[in-house]
Amino acid sequence: MNIGQAARRSGLSTKMIRYYEAIGLLKPATRSDSGYRVYQAEDLHSLAFIKRSRDLGFSLDEVGKLLTLWQDRGRASADVKALATRHIDELNRRIEELVSLRDTLGDLVAHCQGDDRPDCPILKDLAKNAGCCH
């Protein structure tokens, strides 16, 4: 199949498929006599694996490691679990950071009158450090 068909079947854009090839996540597609990329079922499995990994929030570096582990039938599942556990730890750190941001912004919104007056604690907070970099 060509890149457009592979994109439709994998749920990825043609641009992303080309990018994954360029950075080495996906092996370069074979080429037809006219130079068009040709994808096989194996390539679709790899694309689906990459897409699912990215959907779960794994970084490109982590996806590369997962792909290597997936393709290595002699791998230890402990290696996969360790990588996934580190990812969970990072997700939890990011969740805590987002919760803190949400709470801070919620507090600012709660203290804003939201009326016709110009006084706004949200803007005051944003401006606190605005002059630091001149």
pLDDT digit string, tens, across residues 45-102 = 999 999 999 999 999 999 999 999 999 999 999 999 999 999 999 999 999 999 999 9
- Between the alpha carbon of residue 32 and those of residues 7, 24, 38, 43, 129, the distances in Å are 17, 20, 6, 15, 57
- Binned at pLDDT 50, 70 and 90, residue 131 comes out as low
> Cα–Cα distance between 109 and 125 in angstroms, integer?
11
Question: Could you tell me which residues come within 8 angstroms of residue 108 by beta carbon, excluding any fewer than 6 positions away?
Answer: 121, 122, 125
The domain limits of the chain are 1-57, 76-134
Q: Which CATH number fits domain 1-57: 1.10.1660.10, 3.40.190.80, 3.40.50.300, 3.30.420.40?
A: 1.10.1660.10
Residue 30 pairs in a beta bridge with 38
Q: Is the dihedral of CA 110, 115, 119, 125 positive or negative?
A: positive
Strand, coil or helix: what is 68? Answer: helix
The DSSP output letter for 25 is S
